[in-house]
Amino acid sequence: MDGELSPQDKKDLDKFIKFFALKTVQVIVQARLGEKICTRSSSSPTGSDWFNLAIKDIPEVTHEAKKALAGQLPGIGRSMCVEISLKTSEGDSMELETWCLEMNEKCDKEIKVSYTVYNRLSLLLKSLLAITRVTPAYKLSRKQGHDYVILYRIYFGEVQLNGLGEGFQTVRVGMVGTPVGTITLSCAYRTNLAFMSGRQLERTQPIMGIIIDHFVDRPYSGSSPLHPCNYRTTGEDDGGNFPSVDDSQEVCTTSFSTSPPSQMVIPSKEGGIPVLPLHPAPGVQADGERVPTCNLTDMNQHAATTPSSSGEAELLSKSSEGKSGTPQDVLETTFTRKVGAFVNKPASQVTAANMDLPFAVFAPKIVESEDTDVMVNPPDSPILESPLHASLHSDQSSGSSGLTQDEFVMVELKPAFSKDDFLPMDLGTFYREFQNPPQLSSLSIDISAQSMAEDLDSLPEKLAIYEKNMEEFDAFVDTLQ
Amino acid sequence: MNCRSQILELTVEARQIEETVLAVLHTVLLHRSSGKFHYKKEGTYSIGTVGTEDVDCDFVDCTYVRVSSDELDRTLRRSVGEFKDALRNSGSDGSGQISLEFYQKKKSRWPFSDECIPWEVWAFKLNVVNLANEQERQICREKVGEKLGEKIINIIEVMNRHEYLPKMPTQSEVDNVFDTSLRDVQPYLYKISYQITDSLGTSVSTTMRRLIKDTLAL
């Protein structure tokens, strides 16, 4: 079979398939980064844009893809798969979709490799770009952040669709026939994005109703770790294209001929592309176990390295601060957040009562310093879940800790919008006094304890006194008129 | 050869017309646009790079991908704007059809003008409804988003059948196959036209047929 394909054609075809696979992975992962993608058209070919499409190359993704391929090409029985999954801040994960690049045995001997196959692969990539915005996981990935992140995993070999739940759908992106087989690209995606059920009793309430269907602690049979989709390397911020530099510095074919195939000339400019220095973010290791955090202003630290038996790398959501430690700490750091005003102390005493107080939410929040805050340093795992649960639950209610101040020691109260100590009476003091005014004396209990009988008994005496002073009273009334 | 045609149909609210039509047109043109050709000697040519851009819709729960070419986007928006106005002017609850036709030019000898031979036609039929309250509009937003996603998948399915495409032209023939007027990308020659039917479902007596895009206005 291969004998009919010229060596040059075979070489070209292998190159096309390899770079098509790499670009496919880039498109899929970039579509799940959670941001809109925009690349510029360029009328003059640079020689580095494979398939005449401006698709940026994230170096880590290329690295992972090459690692998964391990020098092989997708072929018959050897599929390249990109698995997209969702991982909540509680550690539950769910597979959302699996993109499969496969090859079947149906060959198209007549097709022109370096022209028709190339153009059709380009068309297929365009279709992939469009379809990745249409599957359900796209919307989820655009909303990732605090509560969940989207991860990807690349593997090579047999397609595994077990994790997609019942009733998963498959959509075919397209097919391209080649002399050695037909390349097909398809996506199997989960449709059952139901709320948690059953297991709820064992776990805390989900935050804001995260869509979770199952959360098996997945035994990763393969060695391919999960990677987050929402990270950036510093190199990416430079903008523009950087060609995927691989060992042989191959560049793509951008020249075509309108003359008959036998005279086709394809100048390939191997070795002519300058090697762009890759800009790995500090701390990134080649094995992909640590990944840099994304480019938000509150993210200066790197994600924790979590030692796990399966070599799984985890990135935390955008709100996390990096801390190294056990998975438990990792779990907890995703919830670390600055304690702002009106944040409830995460204690079990928090009640939704005392709502009848006006401005209950402004009631003095018993805020301890961060060191003793349960949210930041959970004492141990059994308690870990309930404070988180309680704090999150109470975030949604406007209940306050309208308890008496006797139970807590006020360390510091920072009411929002108050200036610091210009007046002797600051806002915090005002709140305190306002919320706990002294009882009116007339309403005090002593008075009400008096009985009616006593009142009646004292009446005649009072009447006698008033009659004696009647003249004074009359004179007083006259002065009023 | 026979011209293949595809019809897509969708029911939308008036404010969704523009975005749904643009989503469909851009998805088709994404697949039918190439980078700019640069012809070199010896009959070879190289192709420029096509960039892409994600566009979020405001009134429909959907994101589509378009070619990164502001010129092309402006041209399409102009056509779609006219279609939308015509639809709205025809009264409420009407329907209309906007067509995107890819054609090739065939030079004829004088005094005959060049022939335009279509090879692919995409017709997008829209039924416009009016909704009473915000809740219905919200449901409509999501439903139309889903349906639009399905249409995009339909378009991609057709595109990947790899049916007839015009042969790659020589330098002298390129304007008969491609629209070379844009600076950054090169779509196949296309024209957009539309038809409005009133709410009774019959063709309006004065059927408006306008050729919005014609590269060679002779």
Q: Pick A296 or A71 by higher pLDDT.
A: A71
| pLDDT tens-digit readout, A34-92 | 999 999 998 887 767 899 999 999 999 999 999 998 888 888 889 999 999 999 888 88
Instruction: Return d(Cα B196, Cα B214) in angstroms, integer.
Output: 21
**pLDDT bucket at A230, cuts 50 / 70 / 90:** low
**A455 pLDDT higher than 80:** no
Interface test with B, best of A134, A242, A256 (most B CBs within 10 A): A134
Domain housing B94: 4-207
CB atoms < 10 A from the CB of B142, how many?
Answer: 12
- Who among B40, B50, B155 is closest to A54 (CB)? B50
Residues of chain A in contact with residue B155, where contact means CB-CB under 8 angstroms, are: 130
Residues of chain A in contact with residue B38, where contact means CB-CB under 8 angstroms, are: 43-45
Q: Between the ranges A218-222, A396-400, B171-175, where is the mean pLDDT highest?
A: B171-175
Mean pLDDT of A366-384: 43
What chain A residue is nearest to B153 in terms of C-alpha separation? A131
Residues of chain A in contact with residue B67, where contact means CB-CB under 8 angstroms, are: 41
- What is residue B49's predicted lDDT score, i.e. its pLDDT? 93
Residues of chain A in contact with residue B56, where contact means CB-CB under 8 angstroms, are: 36
**B14 pLDDT higher than 80:** yes
Rounding to the nearest 10 degrees, give the CA dihedral for residues A393, A396, A397, A398: 130
Q: Do A38 and B149 touch (CB under 8 A)?
A: no
What tokens were used for A33?
A: 């980064």
CB atoms < 10 A from the CB of A266, how many?
Answer: 15
**A223 pLDDT higher than 70:** no
- What is residue A316's predicted lDDT score, i.e. its pLDDT? 33
Mean pLDDT of B15-32: 95
Q: Do A256 and B184 touch (CB under 8 A)?
A: no
Q: Do the domain assignments include residue B217?
A: no
Q: Between the ranges A220-224, A402-406, B151-155, where is the mean pLDDT highest?
A: B151-155
**A171 pLDDT higher than 60:** yes
Q: Do the domain assignments include residue B213?
A: no
- What is residue B143's predicted lDDT score, i.e. its pLDDT? 93
The ipTM is 0.90
Q: Which residues pair with A93 in a beta bridge?
A: A87
- Give yes or no for A45 touching B (CB within 8 A): yes
- Give yes or no for B185 touching A (CB within 8 A): yes
- Share above pLDDT 90 across residues of chain A, in percent, rounded to a whole number: 24
How many contiguous H segments (helices) and E segments (strands) does chain A have? 10, 7
- Give the type of residue at B134: E
Instruction: Respond yes or no on whether the N-terminal peptide bond of residue B111 is cis (omega within 30° of 0).
Output: yes
Q: Coil, helix or strand for A95?
A: strand
What tokens were used for A18?
A: 């390899």
Q: Do the domain assignments include residue B142?
A: yes
- Give yes or no for B35 touching A (CB within 8 A): yes
Cβ proximity of B123 and B7 under 8 Å: yes
Q: Do the domain assignments include residue B42?
A: yes
Mean pLDDT of B37-46: 83
Q: Pick A243 or A420 by higher pLDDT.
A: A420
Kindly report which listed range (A113-122, A173-182, A407-416) carries the lowest average pLDDT score: A407-416
- Who among A133, A173, A258 is closest to B63 (CB)? A133
CB atoms < 10 A from the CB of B6, how many?
Answer: 16
Q: What is the 8-class DSSP label of residue B39? A: E
**pLDDT bucket at A398, cuts 50 / 70 / 90:** very low
Q: Do B53 and A36 touch (CB under 8 A)?
A: yes
Mean pLDDT of A224-237: 52
Residues of chain A in contact with residue B159, where contact means CB-CB under 8 angstroms, are: 123, 127, 174
- Give yes or no for B170 touching A (CB within 8 A): yes
**pLDDT bucket at A172, cuts 50 / 70 / 90:** very high
Tell me how close the Cα of B79 comes to any Cα of chain A, in angstroms.
22
**A8 pLDDT higher than 70:** yes
Cβ proximity of B48 and A254 under 8 Å: no
**Number of domains making up chain B:** 1
Radius of gyration over every alpha carbon of chain B, rounded to an integer in angstroms = 18
CB atoms < 10 A from the CB of A256, how many?
Answer: 21
Residue whose pair of structure tokens reads 């998805």 in the numeric block: B27
- What is residue A220's predicted lDDT score, i.e. its pLDDT? 36
Give the predicted TM-score (pTM) of the model. 0.62
What chain B residue is nearest to A268 in terms of C-alpha separation? B46
Q: Do the domain assignments include residue B215?
A: no
| pLDDT tens-digit readout, B48-84 | 999 999 999 999 999 999 999 999 999 999 999 999 9
- Give yes or no for B31 touching A (CB within 8 A): yes
- Give yes or no for B157 touching A (CB within 8 A): yes
**A332 pLDDT higher than 60:** no
- Give yes or no for A182 touching B (CB within 8 A): no
- What is residue A410's predicted lDDT score, i.e. its pLDDT? 56
Q: What is the 8-class DSSP label of residue A115? A: I
Q: Do the domain assignments include residue B116?
A: yes
Q: Do the domain assignments include residue B198?
A: yes
**A198 pLDDT higher than 50:** no
Instruction: Return d(Cα B160, Cα A184) in angstroms, integer.
Output: 11
**B150 pLDDT higher than 80:** yes
Cβ proximity of A251 and A223 under 8 Å: no
Q: How far is CA B105 from CA B38, B76, B117, in A?
A: 20, 21, 6
Tell me how close the Cα of B170 comes to any Cα of chain A, in angstroms.
6
Instruction: Return d(Cα A315, Cα A150) in angstroms, integer.
Output: 9
- Who among B44, B51, B152 is closest to A41 (CB)? B51
Instruction: Return d(Cα B192, Cα B215) in angstroms, integer.
Output: 12
Residues of chain B in contact with residue A53, where contact means CB-CB under 8 angstroms, are: 49-52
Q: DSSP letters of A262-283? A: GG------TT-SPPPPP-PPTT
- Who among A133, A139, A175 is closest to B54 (CB)? A133
- What is residue B43's predicted lDDT score, i.e. its pLDDT? 75
Average pLDDT over all residues of chain A: 65
Pairing type for strands A79-88 and A148-157 reads: antiparallel
Q: Do A38 and B43 touch (CB under 8 A)?
A: no
- What is residue B45's predicted lDDT score, i.e. its pLDDT? 85
Cα–Cα nearest to A115, from A292, A285, A221, A260? A260
Radius of gyration over every alpha carbon of chain A, rounded to an integer in angstroms = 35
- What is residue B148's predicted lDDT score, i.e. its pLDDT? 95
**B166 pLDDT higher than 70:** yes
- What is residue B132's predicted lDDT score, i.e. its pLDDT? 86
Cβ neighbors of B99 (< 8 A, separation 6 or more) are: B121, B122, B123, B124, B192, B193, B194, B195
| pLDDT tens-digit readout, B90-107 | 776 788 999 999 999 988
Q: Do B54 and A131 touch (CB under 8 A)?
A: no
Which A residues, 239 through 268, put their C-beta within 8 Å of a C-beta on chain B? 254-259, 263, 265
Cβ proximity of B29 and B72 under 8 Å: yes
Q: Coil, helix or strand for B38?
A: strand
| pLDDT tens-digit readout, B103-127 | 999 887 777 778 889 999 999 999 9
Average pLDDT over all residues of chain B: 86
Cα–Cα nearest to A45, from B194, B96, B174, B186? B186
Q: Do the domain assignments include residue B183?
A: yes
Instruction: Return d(Cα A301, Cα A283) in angstroms, integer.
Output: 10
What chain A residue is nearest to B168 in terms of C-alpha separation? A258
- Which H helix or E strand runs over B61? none
